[in-house]
């Protein structure tokens, strides 16, 4: 049985290095914490947002963001972010090269999709990215998750994995940063409620 470590969207787009995208306070400082987390695991997975600049959910300013949308697979407006070929798509400093990970998931590549979780391409959770199947095939029993942002993609990825009832899912808050305090609190409540283990200190993580 194996332990997996997932780096969720540790990309410059979610850091102050890209102030015009979706900067999360201190998001660029997570490299060491994610590397420490990975040391507890046998397998290391990277997920990356990969969005076209002309996606249907793109708005031109932060003032128009977080407006509800009624598309089946894009629920809110966002400014363009994590566009392949731009700095925002790149991973934050201190992480391994993409090719050094054991598995990589790119999400939201189609212009009409804006998933948060790394397990499904769509918000209906019908179209698998293959992550759950890959983890099962590797006999993964325990998954430790860190990354950006706690209140969106970390939360949704953790909840999708927990929903399978196949894994012990741990969120390592010391390797996560969130967009807003209130939504981080809500996210932690929602995750604990379904049995996800929330750890604020790497040293207290029990993988067995």
Which residues are at the interface with ligand VGL (CB under 6 A)? Answer: 9, 14, 22, 49, 78, 148-149, 152-153
The dihedral formed by the CA atoms of 139, 166, 207 and 159, expressed in degrees to the nearest 10: 130
Look at the alpha carbons of 95, 101, 103, 104 in this order and tell me if their dihedral is positive or negative. Answer: positive
> Residue 24, CB half-sphere, CA atoms under 13 Å: how many?
29
* Comparison of 34 and 148: residue with beta carbon closer to ligand VGL: 148
* Minimum separation from the CB atom of position 9 to ligand VGL (A): 4
CB nearer to ligand VGL: give 3 or 114.
114
- Closest separation between CB of residue 22 and ligand VGL, Å? 6
The smaller minimum CB distance to ligand VGL, of residues 44 and 177, is found at 177
Closest contact distance (angstroms) between CB of 182 and ligand VGL is 15
Q: How far is the CB of 208 from ligand VGL (least distance, A)?
A: 29
Whole-angstrom Cα distance, residue 173 to residue 29? Answer: 13
In 3D space, the residue among 32, 2, 6 whose CA is nearest the CA of residue 145 turns out to be 6
How far from 168 is each of 105, 158, 190, 204, CA to CA, in Å? Answer: 20, 10, 16, 15
Our CB check for ligand VGL shows the closer of 185 and 204 to be 185
């Amino acid at each position: 049985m194996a332990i997996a470590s997932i780096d969720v969207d540790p990309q410059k787009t979610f850091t102050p290095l890209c102030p015009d995208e979706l900067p999360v306070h201190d998001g660029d400082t997570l490299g060491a914490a994610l590397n420490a987390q990975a040391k507890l695991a046998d397998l290391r997975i990277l997920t990356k947002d990969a969005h076209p600049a002309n996606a249907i959910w793109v708005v031109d300013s932060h003032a128009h963001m977080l407006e509800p949308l009624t598309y089946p697979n894009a629920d809110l407006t966002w400014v363009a972010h994590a566009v392949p070929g731009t700095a925002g798509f790149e991973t934050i400093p201190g992480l391994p090269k993409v090719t050094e990970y054991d598995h990589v998931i790119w999400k939201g590549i189609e212009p009409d999709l804006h998933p948060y979780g790394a397990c499904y391409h769509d918000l209906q959770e019908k179209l698998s990215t293959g992550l759950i199947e890959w983890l099962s095939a590797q006999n993964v029993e325990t998954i430790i998750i860190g990354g950006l942002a706690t209140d969106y993609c970390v939360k949704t990825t953790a909840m999708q994995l927990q929903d399978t009832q196949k894994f012990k899912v741990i969120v390592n808050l010391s390797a996560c940063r969130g967009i807003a305090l209130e939504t981080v609190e809500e996210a932690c409540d929602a995750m604990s409620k379904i049995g996800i283990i929330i750890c604020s200190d790497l040293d207290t993580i029990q993988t067995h």
